[in-house]
């Protein structure tokens, strides 16, 4: 994958990729170029599902995961310019949410406004124990517009989400863990190591199976239980004829680690 102006991308032989929001001098705030860069990065992952087996998304530096939209860039924008930029941000977040490869957010500091919305678009979140979170948009006379009003209630419940969104108040990593927004808290020095360990464990599993399981969970939650179970069986049946299914059973019986090829 090519180099980007505001995003740093690193790969590994295991198929685990790291994506860093890379504007540490402004707390990794999202400007128009970062929106375009993230849209391209995750669109490329979606276009080639074999490229990565798991992705860890984090922020560069120690100060922040992402402070949200770059308000200095937005200062003085016309209505048309604001909406044109926001369309890029909408597509960016959709690219994260729709990526077939599992994405782990490693929140290394503040995740505010659009930064929290990006983290919420990932499959799950590991956070440094000093991290802070907030959807602050209403304090600026706007509202979350990149999935915040949809993904936060799904993570913490409707009433808690209403409190957090309508007040715009910040909350701690410990609160995020208690409410189910975050899966695990880590010491700051251990965050990336622990996130990569989880990613490596995912990467060792059957990649087609992992993508199908993610797809089933993601879409089944928006359906009735009966429809969700039907969707699950359809996803399951797509795995029966794969080489990986045969390899997994063969490796189990031969008492060795499987070597999955993603086909």
For the four alpha carbons of 186, 187, 192 and 194, in that order, the dihedral sign comes to: negative
pTM (two decimals): 0.93
Condensed to tens digits (0 to 9), the pLDDT of residues 172-218 reads 999 999 999 999 999 999 999 999 999 999 999 999 999 999 999 98
What pLDDT band is residue 220 in, cutting at 50, 70 and 90?
confident
pLDDT score of 33: 97
What pairs with residue 260 in β-bridges?
A: none
pLDDT score of 72: 92
Does 85 score more than 90 pLDDT?
A: yes
Measure the CA–CA gap between 30 and 203, rounded to whole angstroms.
29
Measure the CA–CA gap between 81 and 91, rounded to whole angstroms.
16
All domains of the chain in start order, with CATH: 7-203 (3.90.226.10), 207-253 (1.10.12.10)
Of 41-45, 54-58, 163-167, 243-247, least confident by mean pLDDT is: 243-247
Is the Cβ–Cβ distance between 102 and 202 less than 8 Å? yes
State percent of the chain over pLDDT 90.
Answer: 82
Of 22-26, 69-73, 164-168, 259-263, least confident by mean pLDDT is: 259-263
Condensed to tens digits (0 to 9), the pLDDT of residues 221-238 reads 888 999 888 988 999 898
């Amino acid at each position: 994958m090519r180099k980007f102006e505001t995003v740093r991308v690193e790969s590994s032989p295991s198929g685990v990729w790291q994506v860093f929001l890379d504007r540490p001098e402004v707390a990794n705030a999202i400007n128009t170029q970062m929106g375009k860069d993230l849209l391209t990065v995750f669109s490329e992952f979606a276009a080639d599902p074999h490229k990565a087996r798991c992705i860890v998304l984090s922020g560069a530096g120690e100060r922040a995961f992402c402070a949200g939209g770059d308000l200095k860039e937005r200062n003085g924008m016309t209505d048309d310019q604001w909406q044109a930029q926001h369309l890029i941000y909408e597509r960016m977040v959709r690219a994260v949410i729709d990526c077939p490869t599992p994405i782990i957010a490693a929140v290394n500091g503040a995740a505010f406004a659009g930064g929290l919305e990006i983290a919420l678009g990932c499959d799950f979140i590991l956070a440094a124990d000093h991290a802070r979170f907030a959807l602050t948009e209403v304090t600026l006379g706007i509202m979350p517009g990149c999935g915040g009003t949809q993904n936060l209630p799904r993570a913490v419940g409707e009433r808690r989400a209403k409190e957090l969104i309508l007040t715009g108040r910040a909350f701690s990593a410990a609160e995020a863990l208690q409410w189910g927004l975050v899966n695990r808290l880590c010491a700051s020095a251990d965050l990336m190591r622990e996130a990569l360990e989880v990613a490596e464990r995912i990467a060792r599993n059957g990649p087609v199976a992992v993508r199908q399981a993610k797809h089933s969970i993601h879409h089944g939650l928006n359906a009735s239980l009966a429809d969700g179970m039907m969707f699950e069986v359809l996803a399951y049946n797509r795995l029966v004829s794969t080489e990986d299914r045969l390899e997994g059973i063969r490796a189990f019986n031969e008492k060795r680690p499987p070597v999955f090829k993603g086909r």
